[in-house]
């Protein structure tokens, strides 16, 4: 077991992808080998992506949300999370939604945030490093 990590939505999407097998393996390994956190935002975005992009049924999405919730610790975003996200967006120039992911990861006291979409290697608030687990592919 290694340090606690936070997973962005795109990492979990790859865990359910049938077309990106290398990324699927990496994503599943991140969940199985770490204490991993996600947020309510991640669950919402995952549900939307599985519905719109992958055309999964609502039953399949319900099962995926259950599975993801059991495999990861779920952080509930609140007003403090949103206020911190606003500060992060202003300071680091991330989008609000990326900043909300970062704020959630900081509240969970994670040392690493895994995301394909953010700045690989960037240190935020001297506490959390953004890592693209697919950077070497």
How many separate helices (H) and strands (E) can be counted in the chain?
Answer: 6, 6
Alpha-carbon distance 48 to 61, whole Å?
A: 9
Tokens of 38: 């996600």
| pLDDT at res. 23 | 94
Paired tokens of 133: 């687990």
What is the structure's pLDDT at 79? Answer: 97
Residues of the chain short of pLDDT 50, as ranges, are: 1
Domains and CATH numbers, the chain: 8-118 (3.40.50.1010)
pTM of the prediction? Answer: 0.93
């Amino acid at each position: 077991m290694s340090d606690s990590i936070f997973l962005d939505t795109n990492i979990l999407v790859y865990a359910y992808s049938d077309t990106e097998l290398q990324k699927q393996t990496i994503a599943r390994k991140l969940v199985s080998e770490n204490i991993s956190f996600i947020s309510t935002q991640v669950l919402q975005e995952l549900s939307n992506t599985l519905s719109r992009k992958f055309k999964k049924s609502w039953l399949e999405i319900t099962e995926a949300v259950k599975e993801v919730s059991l495999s990861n610790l779920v952080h509930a975003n609140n007003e403090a999370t949103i206020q911190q996200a606003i500060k992060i967006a202003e300071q680091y120039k991330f989008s609000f939604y990326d900043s909300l992911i970062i704020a959630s990861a900081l509240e969970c006291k994670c040392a690493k945030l895994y995301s394909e979409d953010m700045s690989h290697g960037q240190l935020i608030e001297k506490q959390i490093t953004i890592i693209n687990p697919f950077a070497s592919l």
